[in-house]
Structure 1
């Protein structure tokens, strides 16, 4: 990665496919000033670096590097979820996942490592040989192991490729995510298109649990206005039943516990 502010600015502008004029309009400065910053004819203030990083929608970690390239101290910390000043956040994560039971829920970091899981989420992950602290991406690229658990592995893997590319692009490129895409593409081999028919509303993931097949779709929750690096990258994946059989089976767990 380039180590000068101007090179970093130009690199991120290219990643976002913005001209100097585009970025100038977004940041409310002239394209000429953007040019001077990139060539080193002008030096940015700390507030200008922050403004440009916001206009370029940089992830928080990249914003720290951007500040450093301009000679300024980092603005964002990376706290552990167990830190004292994260107590309210930790409580919100626990509250959300506990109340989602008996439907599965898990908290994931930017590389899909499982930070936390609720009871049902933990049981579902255990069936795939995954525990808290493990990477879901490592599991999904192991086709030989996962195809016994994830009935429609190929369909899910194709969807994952698109999702991971989108996530990597947002981050300005992520070697781990890009490598996972390459591994998935190699595992899938040559693919044939889906034809001209309409695509389904959702692509559920169908897990084999004993003699049953449970089918889920997911929604993702993230923290708004997060100024911590780790927190800005944390997401809670909430799984919902995509058929009546799955819903009935999970709800029966509540009745059994009662």
Structure 2
């Protein structure tokens, strides 16, 4: 369904909880001009549309949608993975994953689907039936092997729910993430977090009486005007204690 520039602008202004005056002040224009854009009495220039989308922190795909709704050409690319122009990004992603060994690392899209894994991550996830293309959130919700292996499952689900809510607030709207949040919220009903959060919130996996304790960091591409990579995040797992470090080294073998 086609959406007018004015309606889309108003929708995103409301998503960001901004008044017309708030948006106008941040964009350096009059509230009257914003009002005219929303009602269709004025038409946006390309520069104005991009400025407004920047102020509203719209994801790249939504910025393109705002532009095209105003009869303007999209600003951000949406190339196929095999496109040569994407090669430096693909190489950077794979280099980051590979050089994190012997610790697990993975690339995820905005819906937490696995895009790529390094060898330690594949060795860790494959026995539980998780591979590239699968959703980590779906796996956590439905894969009984994973759920049974996580010693502090309620804590992990609670922390993940908080993280997804932050991501959804940034994206503004996303039906898939919204659905996952609803399902996770049902799982953590009744969970009471500790009065003081630990310095490191680690996920504790127990296999055959052995516990592997891992925490993670998240990194994303900066300054990328390409929709395919704008939402890619790289999660790098680290051992939370010496026993876990030694176990990861043993799993990796002498070649790492």
TM-score, with length taken from structure 1: 0.92
Offset from partner CA, 1:11-37 (integer Å, 9 cap, x none): 101111111121112111112211111
1:102-113 correspondence runs (5 A): 102-113=102-113
Of residues 246, 250, 254, the one that matches 2:248 is: 250
In the alignment, the residues of structure 1 paired with residue 150 and residue 191 of structure 2 have an alpha-carbon distance, to the nearest angstrom, of 21
Q: Tell me, what secondary structure is at the counterpart of 1:43? A: coil
> Does the Cα contact within 8 Å between 1:128 and 1:139 map onto a contact in 2?
no
User: Are residues 74 and 160 of structure 1, via their aligned partners in 2, closer, same or farther at CA, if it must alter by over 3 Å?
Assistant: same
In the alignment, the residues of structure 1 paired with residue 2 and residue 81 of structure 2 have an alpha-carbon distance, to the nearest angstrom, of 32
Residue matched to 2:202: 204
Q: Which moved more, 1:80-89 or 1:175-184?
A: 80-89
In the alignment, the residues of structure 2 paired with residue 116 and residue 143 of structure 1 have an alpha-carbon distance, to the nearest angstrom, of 20
User: RMSD in angstroms over aligned alpha carbons?
Assistant: 1.8
User: Are residues 86 and 257 of structure 1, via their aligned partners in 2, closer, same or farther at CA, if it must alter by over 3 Å?
Assistant: same
In the alignment, the residues of structure 2 paired with residue 154 and residue 114 of structure 1 have an alpha-carbon distance, to the nearest angstrom, of 23
TM-score, with length taken from structure 2: 0.93
> Does the Cα contact within 8 Å between 1:223 and 1:232 map onto a contact in 2?
yes
> Does the Cα contact within 8 Å between 2:23 and 2:55 map onto a contact in 1?
yes
Residue matched to 1:137: 137
1:145 to partner: Cα distance: 3.9
In the alignment, the residues of structure 2 paired with residue 34 and residue 157 of structure 1 have an alpha-carbon distance, to the nearest angstrom, of 41
Residue matched to 1:215: 213
1:253 to partner: Cα distance: 4.3
Q: Tell me, what secondary structure is at the counterpart of 1:73? A: coil
Residue matched to 2:177: 177
1:81 to partner: Cα distance: 3.4
User: Are residues 44 and 12 of structure 1, via their aligned partners in 2, closer, same or farther at CA, if it must alter by over 3 Å?
Assistant: same
Residue matched to 1:146: 146
Over 4 Å off, 4+ runs:
none
Count residues with an aligned counterpart: 256
In the alignment, the residues of structure 2 paired with residue 149 and residue 81 of structure 1 have an alpha-carbon distance, to the nearest angstrom, of 34
Q: Tell me, what secondary structure is at the counterpart of 1:256? A: coil
> Does the Cα contact within 8 Å between 2:97 and 2:118 map onto a contact in 1?
yes
Unpaired runs of at least 5, structure 1: none
